[in-house]
Amino acid sequence: MPFTQRDKTRIHYEWHPGPAQDSPVLALIPGLASNTRSFPELLERLAKSFAVLVFDPRGAGQTKLASLRFQLSDSADDLAAVMNDIGLDTAHVLGISMGGMIAQEFVLRHPHRVETLSLSVTTCGPPPGVSPSPATIAALVKGIVNAPRVRSLDDVVRLFGDLLFSPTCDFATRRRFFKMRRDARPGPVRNSIAQLLAIRQFRSHRRLSQVVAPTLVLGALDDHLVPPINSDILYASIPGSRLVKLNAGHCSFYEVQEEFVGEIERFVEARN
């Protein structure tokens, strides 16, 4: 199991070789309470076109911390350390949700290391980013707190399904998604809370004009956690960016996976 040591942090990562020796490298940054094992279907699909580097952000998976007090910029620097460790100068970077916030920090702190930037269902932070409604926040916190005590997978779907998927997404698809999440063995609740606290401190809007990497902003029309207007704000703030909104919920990368990956493939290919 590969790790990179950075100060007192031991960062877990995985490397998935692409279909060819010269396959473009994609660095995938997972979202809240997600780790390298959370989305095996997405990794398998991406690995058909890319060599994929994925790591456990602080507060997730096998990454070991001395303290749960951290900022998302710390995880951005962790990714740079992993790339250094494996001899990788640059990568195409894909960040999903909280991972998209980390990706913004990465491109701002290490601009020369980003070939393209794909920001999925994410935000620059308020203001001017728009937060989820109080009802959505309450439902999310309730789900995170209660999930460890819920034994039935169907009950987990009922806790989170309407938050993460569009109304047209069927129960079976939602159930498969949460089974993958359960099998990935998410960390303790205190770790997810630490990530939520780091998200609350995140602000990037005033710095986004500095982004020079070609950028794809992927929003979702039925996103409750990150209202789709946040994609418009990112698009307007990042020079020369491209905006696509998928007909899906927050977990668009799973709900409409072929369309999601296809957008990234076309975007990267056009700039290679």
pLDDT digits (tens, 9 = 90+) for 237-257: 999 999 999 999 999 999 999
Q: Give dist(CA 47, CA 83) in Å, integer.
A: 18
Spatial CB neighbours of 107, under 8 Å, sequence gap ≥ 6: 93, 114, 117, 211, 213
Is residue 240 within 8 Å of 215, Cβ to Cβ?
yes
What is the pLDDT at residue 151? Answer: 78
Which domains does the chain show, CATH number per domain?
3-270 (3.40.50.1820)
What is the pLDDT at residue 165? Answer: 97
Q: Outline where 113-240 has alpha helix (H).
A: 134-146, 153-164, 171-183, 189-201, 229-237
Q: Give dist(CA 121, CA 251) in Å, integer.
A: 8
What are the tokens at 198? 């780091």
The dihedral built from the CA positions of residue 222, 141, 208 and 67, taken in this order, carries a sign that is: negative
What is the pLDDT at residue 137? Answer: 86
State which amino acid sits at residue 209.
S
Q: Give dist(CA 230, CA 233) in Å, integer.
A: 5
What is the pLDDT at residue 271? Answer: 86
What is the pLDDT at residue 258? Answer: 98
What parts of the chain have a pLDDT lower than 50?
A: none
What is the pLDDT at residue 146? Answer: 81
pTM: 0.96
What is the pLDDT at residue 270? Answer: 93
Q: Show the CA angle centred on residue 184, arms to residues 132 and 190, nearest 5°.
A: 55
**3-state class (DSSP) for residue 195:** helix
Span between the terminal Cα atoms of the chain, in Å: 31
